[in-house]
Amino acid sequence: MGNWAHYWTAYLAQGFVVTIGTMLVGTLITAAWALVIVILRLSGIGPVVSAAKAYIEFFRGTPVLVQLFLFFFVPSALGLLVPPWPTAVFVLTMHLGTFLAESYRSGYNAVPRGQREAAAALGMGGALALRRVIAPQALRAIIPSLGNILVWMLLATPLTATIGTPDLMYQALIVQNRFYDFSVFALLTLIYVSVALVLGAGTLAVERRLRLP
């Protein structure tokens, strides 16, 4: 434990930047991508709905680690070199986007049908009704899921070390291999727990701000 300060400054700090960057960028893209998926699910166009469902079943039904290997090592075996970090963000986005898309759909369905009918009766078009009536109410139901996605994204990032992403786990493995000090994983645990607690507190503050029940 006496070497933790050195481990942090020499190794883990740079891995922390990568981990937080992966979490934030991945969550932002996931939030946008999940919206696309739920629009496709609700489009009512048979082939489009089927394609969206197939995507959801594939990415939700297979482990993240398998997906990382599939999209990183298979292209490499075919002679197509793909960089680790964008591949990691892509896979995490595709995987977690399935869960967030379902949360979006639940939030949309949670808005009473009468609200949508009232908006139509007032002459609001689909886009206007979505912006002024549906989205504000659905957002209150979706905020907890967005907070969960942030935490899930954080806790999934260690898996990306398996394809060479220089995140916290990757740097911790370097420390362990060089100094044979397994206590670095205790430090790693404290870091993840601390960040997760901050994210949880932030999500709760937003929920209270929106006066969620």
Comparison of pLDDT for 27 and 114, the residue scoring more: 27
N-terminal to C-terminal alpha carbon distance within the chain: 43
Q: Confirm or reject CATH 3.40.220.10 for domain 4-209, answering yes or no.
A: no
The percentage of residues in the chain with a pLDDT greater than 90, rounded to a whole number, is 56
Backbone angles phi and psi of 61, in degrees to 5: -95, 0
Task: Write the pLDDT tens digit of every residue in 71-126.
Answer: 999 998 998 989 999 999 999 999 999 988 888 877 776 666 665 656 566 666 55
**Mean pLDDT on 132-156:** 79
pTM: 0.86
Q: Residue 35: what pLDDT?
A: 86
Kindly give, in sequence order, each residue whose CB lies less than 8 Å from that of residue 55, ignoring residues fewer than 6 positions away: 37, 94, 98
